[in-house]
Amino acid sequence: MDSNVAIPAVQEEQVKPAARLRRRRFLDMSDVRFFTISLTAPAQYVLLFIIMFPLLAEVYISLTAWTPTRGGDWTQAYRFWDWGRNYVEVFRDLAFWQALGRTFLIAGVAVSLEFLLGLGIAFLFLDEFPGKRVFYALMLVPMMIVPAVAGYVFWLFFQSNGPLNAIISLLIGQPFTLTWLANDVTAMIAVIVAEVWEWTPLMFLIMLSGLVGLPEDQMRAATMLGATFWQKFRYLMLPMLKPIIIIALVIRGMEAVKIFDMVYLMTQGGPAQATETISIYMYKIAFQQVRWSYAAAAAMTILVIMTILASYALRPLQAPQREVA
């Protein structure tokens, strides 16, 4: 260092003196605790207002027999107080439980298929090959397509005179005119296909990032020890991917249970109730039958069920939050 150059001390008039040590006063803005609170306060307030408030309103209404058609503001619902008869009704309502079961069926089948497909496709994209970037981008497009539009596209796709039947006709060499969406079983298949189509890319992305993130040296170490590809897959990749797989399944499961847009645009829950998921069921109760307090009770029941499920599902998610990736 150049010993000839010395830095002059900062003159008092050049700079606001920081040397004067300030003590903390009541509600000092610079206190870290105050800072922390003010960072999270807006979020907490909004959460309370837009989540807690409606939630309470929902509990409140679900305990009455109020609906908009009976007149009066929702705040006046206490005039129709009926001590939770709605909940008894929900428990007796077969359609409710059927819709719930159907939702889990769709979610279960779709998510399993998405996982297997996603993992398989991820292996295809693991190494570099010419044109990979283009194929990769094309692979991602479905998950970015607005679900409502996707619902419409698949509605087109499964029409009796749509492209799917045309392709099948070409393959079997004679006209094939199945009205997919008018048949109980095929409508369900159509809904699941649409769901798988939209969300396999996400599963593919997650699995690919998991595979890419696998520690290279551990794979090399296994190679050096003479392990074959299947041995590496069985003993190293699967166990190491486990946390990521769990997270992917949990998150996709969570989202799949909420399915509404696509089904609504493809089948509106039909034919009859064949593809009626829990969201569509509630939509129908609230807006076609206009039974709001009953819908609120159903919503509360679902909330409780979902919360319990979610709490179990979220547990693996909580712990590996920091370890994964």
Please give the residues from 97 up to 116 whose contact with other proteins meets the rule CB under 8 A: none
Burial per residue of 120-140, b for 16 or more beta-carbon CB atoms within 10 angstroms, e otherwise: ebbeebeeeeeeeeeeeeebe
Stretch that binds other proteins, among 85-93, 105-113, 159-167, 184-192 (CB under 8 A): 159-167
* Single residue of 93, 176, 227, 270 touching other proteins by CB under 8 A: 227
Contact predicate 107/257, CB 8 Å: yes
- Binding status of residue 274 toward other proteins by CB under 8 A: no
Candidates 40-48, 82-90, 91-99, 107-115; binding stretch for other proteins (CB under 8 A):
40-48
HSE toward the beta carbon, residue 319, CA cutoff 13 A = 7
Q: Judge whether 148 and 157 are in contact, CB under 8 Å.
A: no
- Indicate whether 159 belongs to the interface with other proteins (CB under 8 A): yes
| Interface with other proteins in residues 42-71 (CB under 8 A) | 42-61
CB 71, min distance to other proteins, A: 14
Choice from 95, 116, 156, 290 touching other proteins (CB under 8 A): 156
The verdict on 19 binding other proteins (CB under 8 A) reads yes
Is 2 a binder of other proteins (CB under 8 A)? yes
150 or 187: CB nearest other proteins: 150
Q: Exposure pattern of 5-39 as b/e (b: 16+ CB <10 Å)?
A: eeeeeeeeeeeeeeeeeeeeeeeeeeeeeeeeeee
Smallest gap, in angstroms, from Cβ of residue 173 to other proteins? 15
From 114, 201, 269, 275, residue interacting with other proteins (rule: CB under 8 A): 201
CA 278 vs. chain centroid, Å, equals: 15
Single residue of 105, 163, 178, 184 touching other proteins by CB under 8 A? 163
Residue selected from 96, 115, 154, 180 as contacting other proteins according to rule CB under 8 A: 154
Q: Do 192 and 200 touch, CB atoms closer than 8 A?
A: no
CB of 188 to other proteins, least distance (A): 18
Distance CA 105, CA 99 (A): 10
Region for residue 177 given its phi and psi (left: phi exceeds 0; alpha: psi -120 to 50; beta: otherwise): beta
If one asks whether residue 325 binds other proteins (CB under 8 A), the answer comes out as yes
Rounded Cα–Cα distance for residues 110 and 94 (Å): 24
Would you say 126 and 208 are in contact if contact means Cβ atoms under 8 Å apart? yes
Residue 322 beta carbon to other proteins: minimum distance, rounded to whole angstroms: 8
Q: Are 273 and 98 in contact (CB under 8 A)?
A: yes
- Does residue number 87 form part of the binding site for other proteins (CB under 8 A)? no
Q: Which of 12, 26, 27, 30 binds other proteins (CB under 8 A)?
A: 30
- Binding-site member from 96, 115, 180, 197 for other proteins (CB under 8 A): 197
Cβ count within 10 A of residue 314: 14
Residues 131-150 that bind other proteins (CB under 8 A): 135, 137-150
